[in-house]
Structure 1
Amino acid sequence: MKIRSHSESHIVELEDGSKWQVFPGDLDLTLAWKPETDLAVAVADAIPPGAAEAPICLQPIPG
Structure 2
Amino acid sequence: MTPIALIMSLEAVRLEANSAMPNAPVVDDYRRDSATMAKMRNFTARTLRRAADRVEPTPALTYG
TM tier, shorter chain? under 0.3
Higher share in helix: 2
Higher relative contact order (CA 8 A, sep 6+): 1
Higher share in strand: 1
